[in-house]
A and B are shown apart, each in its own frame.
Chain A
């Protein structure tokens, strides 16, 4: 697809066959959009999707025909596949764009300082007003406790797998960490629930933390493992050669070298569990009131708040659900970006 001899100079005496100029896809694209628009206007089709579909179809057919005519069928097929791959990519962007756009557009309506600092204590679902303070508080506490449990266990497990692990135990742990990554969040919730049923406990925040910790552990193990593997063996050997015990080598050499990546992994897993609704629904149950004690009584949580506001089916509640979604997405995205920033900033020099 390099710039071949121009079309005007028919059959140049090169080894290459004739090929379309570089601007050809754009020209065909513009022509098919114009044609698609024209056809749908003429036929009186109302929907935007319809003319876009017609245009896309025209583009693919046009590309194939023109390319097969001027170049050859193999090139034509190649061009068609190229355009289909682009279409697939655009298809994936559409829902993301729509999701972000509608969340921002609808969420911004009620999202303000009042919304962030008040609870739903005295507000009925059908009334406007109220806020998500109680939900933010609950989410932060539950996720914080989950991190306190899962991060040390996850990092230690990864250290075991990378620094010590040989033999069947390590292989079993590796396999089950992988399998654990795929546990549906609701199953983790049911597990804690079955324990709670056994001891006849009422829902409380920490139970949710336990389920979230189960979901978080395998993610932390995976990412930490990858990071520890990036630490060059020479560093370990240098330290051990100086007579430093292995555990101090790990604490003082291996972990500091990979700290940035480990923190990134932990933050990404926090972002993942912060949006989990199902276990919280089963174990924490939700509440309209501020409850700052995660060890006693039902608590609210941001994702659960969205679900319950949506479930009430009232227009003001929908607005609140969108605003809470915007808050949650913003929280998750910021965590993601900061985590990636740390990863880039602290990347081991040998890594890439």
Chain B
């Protein structure tokens, strides 16, 4: 594609090998090219600058807040930024964020993987397209609508489940229920599971589609049933893809704000029972506390947001790194 190839020795490959020398030559000959390259490269650099700026600004404001924090930022069970001296910590938020995300993953991953298998291996061909579309619709619903639905429809409907869990599993302590509206971590987890289902399904489906046909045919030729094909050919091939899909879903669950803020009735305690209303997550705490916060209070919220940012960055980075090892998943090279 490099125009200078024409003047050069006969081009050995159609793909240009953009060494610095050739890039310089191209820039020198074509002012239009130079401007265009500058613009597009500038946009790319701008994205990197934005990422760096996010980290920088958040860290700066967070440092302002944490330096005045009288409690330990990591272990304090309190969020009192307007007190003098201010005391706040993220222990409860970290606990709530992790617990609700784990519940969401436990529910969503098996179902999402099943649906992905359903779409690639079980559903009738004609149905598979429309069903994939329905799953995409789940992804398109705005999170605030999930929140409204969760708070007004899902919460009252979960009383039955809560009672059942309390009757049969209450003795574990994790599923003890004192009655009252189900504005608990379990409800949040269920809602988050519904919300992250589409992304896990979509990525897993892409991976399952990539399974070499010949593996499946070999298994079938040996007399394997459909389930045996999946267990022996599809799942081993797709394992890393499913893991990274789950981590993408996890990243989304960790940062979800509005659905949690509408459903949860927050407090600053760690509840052993998942059915107790209370607790909080990073994102929910920011949304709920923001409107009453003073400038210092906002800095404190930014500090908790920084922790969330770092966590999601790590989770997403890991997921992407796993995917990047298998470039063929991108779908564009099909």
Contact = CB atoms under 8 A, between A and B. Distances in A.
Interface string A175-191: 11111111111111011
Contacts of B333: 229
B47 A275 contact: no
Contacts of B160: 47, 49
Given A281-B287, A332-B142, A246 B148 contact: no
A310 B331 CA distance: 41
B44 A103 contact: no
Interface in B52-89: 53-54, 57-58, 60-61
B151 to A, nearest CB: 7
A167 B20 CA distance: 10
Contact of A195 (B57, B225, B227): B57
A120 B140 CA distance: 27
Nearest to A241: B6
Contacts of B144: 275, 277, 303, 306-307, 325, 328
Nearest to B313: A179
A26 B3 CA distance: 65
Interface string A56-97: 000000000000000000110110011011101101110110
Nearest to B314: A179
A160 B147 contact: no
A245 B33 CA distance: 7
Contact of B248 (A176, A182, A226): A182
B215 interface: no
Most buried by B among A169, A175, A277: A277
B47 A332 contact: no
B315 A250 contact: no
B320 A179 contact: yes
Given A246-B3, A247-B32, A181 B316 contact: yes
A96 B137 contact: yes
B298 A197 contact: yes
A184 B155 CA distance: 25
B142 A329 contact: yes
Contacts of A2: none
B308 A194 contact: no
B47 A225 contact: no
Contacts of A93: 134
Interface in B291-334: 291, 295, 298-299, 301-302, 305-306, 308-309, 312-313, 315-317, 319-320, 324, 330-333
B262 A310 contact: yes
A86 B142 contact: no
A336 interface: yes
A285 B226 CA distance: 54
Interface in B97-140: 110-111, 114-115, 117-118, 122-123, 131, 134-138, 140
A169 B41 CA distance: 9
Task: Give the interface SS of chain B, mostly helix, strand, loop or mixed.
Answer: helix
Interface stretch (A36-44, A122-130, A232-240): A232-240
Contact of B225 (A77, A152, A165): A77
B222 interface: no
B111 A277 contact: no
A276 B147 contact: no
By Cβ-Cβ distance, the 4 closest A-B pairs, closest first, are: A275-B142, A184-B255, A182-B316, A88-B114
Interface of B: 1-3, 6, 14, 17-18, 26, 30, 32-33, 35-37, 39-48, 50-51, 53-54, 57-58, 60-61, 110-111, 114-115, 117-118, 122-123, 131, 134-138, 140-149, 151-154, 160, 194, 197, 201, 225-228, 230, 248, 251-252, 254-258, 261-262, 283, 286-287, 290-291, 295, 298-299, 301-302, 305-306, 308-309, 312-313, 315-317, 319-320, 324, 330-333
22 contacts: A47-B160, A74-B228, A85-B115, A92-B135, A95-B154, A99-B141, A154-B43, A160-B41, A179-B313, A180-B50, A182-B251, A183-B309, A194-B60, A194-B61, A197-B298, A240-B1, A247-B32, A250-B36, A278-B287, A307-B147, A325-B144, A329-B145
